[in-house]
Amino acid sequence: MRVVLPFLHRRRHPLAQALSVVLGLVVIGVLMVFGLVVAGVLTVGGALWLVWRQWKRGRAAVPGAAPQQARQPEVLEGEYVVIHSSRPVTHH
Question: Residue 66 pLDDT more than 60?
Answer: no
Comparing C-alpha atoms, which of 77, 73, 75, 79 is closest to residue 92? 79
Q: Is the pTM of this model over 0.85?
A: no
- Residue-wise pLDDT tens digits, 2-37: 766 666 666 678 898 899 899 999 999 999 999 999
CA dist 47 and 53 (Å) reads 10
**Cα separation values, 34 from 1, 40, 43, 46, Å:** 41, 10, 14, 18
Phi, psi for residue 6 in degrees, rounded to 5: -65, -25
Give 28-61 pLDDT, tens digit per residue: 999 999 999 999 999 999 999 999 999 888 877 6
Alpha helices (H) along the chain: 14-60
Q: Residue 54 CA to chain centroid, in angstroms?
A: 22
Q: Of the ranges 51-55, 64-68, 70-74, 79-83, which is most confident?
A: 51-55
Give the pLDDT score at 45.
97
Domain boundaries, the chain: 33-58
What's the pLDDT at 76? 74
State yes or no: pLDDT of 63 exceeds 90: no
